[in-house]
Amino acid sequence: MDRRFGTAPSAAEIEAIARASLERLPEPFAAHLKDVVLTVEEFADDRTLDEMGIEDPFELTGLYHGLPIGEKSVDQSGALPDRIFLYRRAVLDEWASEGETLEHLVHHILVHEVGHHFGLSDADMHALEDEA
């Protein structure tokens, strides 16, 4: 989807890109993601932004909400499923300013949030990206 003009991609289109990206993740990662709920919303809600200390909703493109795999136990039955949120308007804003393909950007954001599912911090992921 390397388009530069026309109608902005919908939430459904971004979700389709994200789902295709999830399907390409290798094992053993893929096996641990089957129960993670993927949601695309226009922006993060005010409560989420406030909790994260973010004033500009365009600054948050994605969010993992849940317990990392290493912190889960059988004592937590009945908990809500882990969720990955992608925020469409913030993603589109970054896409327009960065000049990379939408698929590449969505994949990058998604892998970052998947990293949180596996217990990696932002600092851990930045260090891994710097090494790569």
Give the domain CATH number at 61: 3.30.2010.20
Question: How many domains does the chain divide into?
Answer: 1
Q: Provide the domain limits for residue 33.
A: 11-131
CA 107 centroid distance within chain? 8
Angle ∠(52,95,67) on CA atoms, nearest 5: 35
The answer as to whether 6 is a domain residue is no
Q: How far apart are CA 126 and CA 132, in angstroms?
A: 10
The model's pTM is 0.84
The answer as to whether 30 is a domain residue is yes
Q: Per-residue pLDDT tens for 64-123?
A: 998 887 776 666 666 778 999 999 999 999 999 988 899 999 999 998 998 888 787 888
